[in-house]
Structure 1
């Protein structure tokens, strides 16, 4: 069964050096990098735990209270939904704009409102936790307007210490370059 949210298009790895955006269907939202091993591993552990909870719910339903079984079944469904949402987090691009998907919120910024995308050396959050370490982050500075990333000022989209790029600085560089290439292709710069 294909899971499109798990794989970035393989065209990025297979492309020639002179092709920046190898995608044919640029209207479709896509993640320009693969999910990292830490993100996939955490999701796999959550799904494994959810399978045990589902088995427990079936056993409880067969032996004791159906009401208690529904509570455990609901907990398993929440764990599955959380694991799948965790796999979807990251940066997605299309010709319409840039979408930053976090665990609880999704922000879409049209390319016309993207002011600057640049890699900055700064303290970044380690694996999305409150602890910060020195690293690099791809920072989005949106142009004026209401809502989206402009309301928050500069937003760190990707970092070298996130679940997708921890211990893989070359993968971070490639992903940041790809997002910047999409921005260069589609955003409108005032005065151009």
Structure 2
């Protein structure tokens, strides 16, 4: 049985253009979510299914307020899992967008001085512990630096080739639309 979602990278690799999308006005993530991110989201969705089952049992056995609390907790867990799947770096003709769990920030290409890969200490899976790795950094004209991608994030841990492809793609978007100022 063919698994169509596994062929997404092959279509991306086969594209000769640096910007393989037809419509550059829509926000696109130039890489697939990594296995760590997908695994944690799957575990959270599994947990929410158990909480929903507890909601039904509580509603049938005890009634009211306990079932409402369980339902609210389940909805929050589902929302966190879905938000985790949206986290990452997104690009379009308008700029680059960094989507986090609680916060999203957008930088227009006109505000970017450079987008480049640098060797620096990076956070391991977003935790306070840092290790030596690579980061794709966006430098603003004000001198501020924003790390867009790192080799030790939930998307690229133990997958250096995927990080290189994603970094090259974001750099190509920056080169294409950053010079159009």
Give the TM-score, by structure 2 length: 0.92
Deviation string, structure 1 residues 123-151 (Cα, Å, up to 9, x no partner): 0000011111111011111123xxxxx7x
Q: Secondary structure of 1:109's partner?
A: strand
| CA RMSD between the two structures | 1.7
* Contact 1:119/1:176 (<8 A) preserved: yes
CA distance in 1, matches of 2:10, 2:52: 34
CA distance in 2, matches of 1:165, 1:47: 22
Larger fraction in helix: 2
CA distance in 2, matches of 1:185, 1:116: 12
CA distance in 1, matches of 2:164, 2:9: 17
For 1:4, the equivalent position in structure 2 comes to none
Confirm whether residue 91 of structure 1 aligns to residue 89 of structure 2: yes
Deviation string, structure 1 residues 87-131 (Cα, Å, up to 9, x no partner): 111000011110011111101111111111111111000001111
Which stretches in structure 2 are left out of the alignment for 5+ residues?
1-6
Which stretches in structure 1 are left out of the alignment for 5+ residues?
1-6, 145-149
For 1:161, the equivalent position in structure 2 comes to 152
Confirm whether residue 104 of structure 1 aligns to residue 102 of structure 2: yes
Structure 1's consecutive aligned runs of 4 or more residues displaced over 6 angstroms after TM superposition are 7-10
- The structure-2 alpha-carbon separation of the partners of 1:27 and 1:166, relative to structure 1 and needing over 3 Å to count, comes to same
Confirm whether residue 64 of structure 1 aligns to residue 62 of structure 2: yes
Shift of 1:13: 2.5
> Equivalences for 1:161-180 in 2 at 5 Å?
161-180=152-171
Shift of 1:189: 7.0
Deviation string, structure 1 residues 59-78 (Cα, Å, up to 9, x no partner): 10011031110001000000
CA distance in 2, matches of 1:10, 1:57: 43
The count of residues paired between Structure 1 and Structure 2 equals 175
Deviation string, structure 1 residues 152-188 (Cα, Å, up to 9, x no partner): x211111000000000011101100000000001013
Give the TM-score, by structure 1 length: 0.87
Shift of 1:10: 6.5
> Equivalences for 1:129-140 in 2 at 5 Å?
129-140=127-138
